[in-house]
Chain A
Amino acid sequence: MRHLLSVSDLGREGIEEVLAVAEAFAEVGTRPIRKVPTLRGRAVATLFFEDSTRTRLSFETAAKRLSADVLSFAAASSSIKKGESIRDTVETLEAMGMDALVVRHASAGVPAQVSRWVTRCSVVNGGDGWHEHPTQALLDCFTVTQALGGIEGRRVLVVGDVRHSRVARSQVLAYSALGASVTLVAPRSLLPPSLEGWPVEVTHDLDGALAGADVVSLLRLQAERGSGAFVPSLREYSARFGLSAARAARLSPKAVITHPGPMIRGVEIASDVADLPQALVTRQVTNGVAVRMAVLFLLLGGHA
């Protein structure tokens, strides 16, 4: 497999392979020297047209722990000149010897387009518009597996702005591939226009869905992607779909809560709830590095 553009590129076996390898890399993260020479001499470039310090740092840390060389291109930097096309930038990077490009863009499909413009590089989708964010879903599955022992047969709620969420689309694919049942919880205006072909159930009633859930995956209200206009107010959204302390108390004691970050405390998650041991947010961040190491390893080194 040369590129990771969508969770569906992996299939169930592929996802399980990533999770297994990520476990080995998680162990590397506990050593005194948190580095292995696996990708020595390879070069990984992060091409982030959309700002995201956390995800970019996570990918760069992952590449560095594999001993790869890392170049970073952030949208605001002068190395992406105004007017230079993405295509020219990408072809230049490949000519300079990059082996992998991690691409994030506000427009869906850019990583797929980049994968058509390169002849040798591997392309990793670091998040494209509303479409997908595969490594986020993978690290969520890894973290949940760590906490619950497995995902098969579990009941996952994906709560919030599904319509504009790339994390949601990737999560639906990943959790259902691993055998979980997925229920979307959102107001109609924050669901995609069509759910045909989505392996999900839908409810608009968060309270009714809590008791049976093993995993509550909270999504951000994507203000920068226009979701603000789809709900009357943040207050109303929070009242209907926010995970308040009262709601968290109705969850089964073994249930876990995830959030892709950054959290807006008080909107999609109450501040107290974010600090509960059931909330796996900091573990998600730690695991993000291991999962991204696994992805880079599998694309660049794991297979002939």
Chain B
Amino acid sequence: MAGRERSHTRRGVFVPRSQVLSADDVRRAVVRMAHEVAERNGGLDGVVLVGLQTGGVPLAHRMAEALADAEGVDVPVGTLDVAFYRDDIGLRPVLPEAATDIPCDLTAKVVVLVDDVLFTGRTARAALHALSDFGRARAVQLAVMVDRGHRELPIRPDYVGKNLPTRKDEVVDVSEEGVAIGTIQ
């Protein structure tokens, strides 16, 4: 188990309790999901990856690498910070953490949103709202490394690395070293 602590934005420090996926597991899941994206969309024509800040961005880049290896195509990768689209503004501290950079007009594209963890679904909902301001996409799909349940909105992922039942008070941490469950202190 990784004894290393990893910081979580502004809320404290993540203390891991158990490792659920190893680094290799994560790598294989990325490759599998990349293949699924290509299969589902009949190739990569018009596909754009958009990583949600901050956890989804490295994953989006890794998926783009995997797609380049598998299909020989360089899929555009954008980043999206949804701080300004959240529905809980004023309820908890929320500041934009990193840049939003959408490399092209999304009209008629297939946008694959990429995030590390799918939980209540509110981040994904905010992302859908944000995307609509960048053009009318042909389709939006959702890729996550971990689906930990406890949905509060009717959101479902299209591509999942691992389904992981959790308690609501637990925290899931995704990194290059793998996926761990723990607490915030």
Contact = CB atoms under 8 A, between A and B. Distances in A.
Q: Is there any pair of Cβ atoms, one from A and one from B, under 8 angstroms apart in the complex? A: yes
Interface of A: 17, 20-21, 24, 27-28, 31-33, 35-39, 66, 297, 300-304
A38 to B, nearest CB: 4
Contacts of A37: 84-85, 129
Nearest to A99: B90
B97 to A, nearest CB: 9
A34 to B, nearest CB: 9
A21 B135 contact: no
B94 interface: yes
Given A27-B100, A32-B105, A304-B90, 20 more contacts: A17-B95, A21-B95, A21-B96, A24-B84, A24-B100, A27-B101, A28-B100, A31-B133, A32-B133, A32-B134, A33-B133, A36-B84, A37-B84, A38-B85, A297-B84, A301-B90, A301-B94, A302-B89, A302-B93, A302-B94
A24 B81 contact: yes
Contacts of B85: 36-38
Query: How many interface residues does chain B have, given as a range?
Result: 20 to 34
A27 B101 CA distance: 8
Interface string B77-115: 000010111000111111110011100010000000000
A24 B129 contact: no
Contacts of B129: 37
A300 B90 contact: yes
Contacts of A24: 81, 83-84, 96, 99-100
A303 to B, nearest CB: 5
Contacts of B89: 38-39, 301-302
A35 B133 contact: yes
A28 B134 CA distance: 11
Interface of B: 81, 83-85, 89-96, 99-101, 105, 129-130, 133-135
Contacts of A32: 105, 133-135
A67 to B, nearest CB: 9
10 contacts: A20-B95, A21-B96, A31-B134, A32-B133, A36-B84, A36-B133, A37-B129, A39-B89, A302-B89, A304-B91
A15 B113 CA distance: 33
**Chain B interface mostly helix, strand, loop or mixed?**
loop
Contacts of B90: 300-301, 304
A138 B47 CA distance: 40
Contacts of A27: 99-101
A303 B91 CA distance: 8
B83 A304 contact: no
Contacts of B130: 36
A273 B96 CA distance: 37
A33 B102 CA distance: 13
Nearest to A65: B84
A36 B84 CA distance: 6
A302 B90 CA distance: 6
B84 A38 contact: yes
A297 B90 CA distance: 10
Nearest to B90: A301
A17 B93 CA distance: 13
A39 to B, nearest CB: 8
Most central of B81, B85, B92, B95 by chain A CB within 10 Å: B95
B52 to A, nearest CB: 15
A28 B93 contact: no
A121 B13 CA distance: 34
A285 to B, nearest CB: 22
Nearest to A40: B89
A304 B134 contact: no
A20 B129 CA distance: 23
Contacts of A39: 89
Given A38-B89, A301-B89, A28 B84 contact: yes
Most central of B81, B89, B99, B129 by chain A CB within 10 Å: B89
A27 B99 CA distance: 8
Most central of B100, B101, B105 by chain A CB within 10 Å: B100
A129 B163 CA distance: 61
A302 B89 CA distance: 7
B99 to A, nearest CB: 7
A247 to B, nearest CB: 38
Nearest to B100: A27
A33 B135 CA distance: 9
A33 B132 CA distance: 9
A28 B91 CA distance: 23
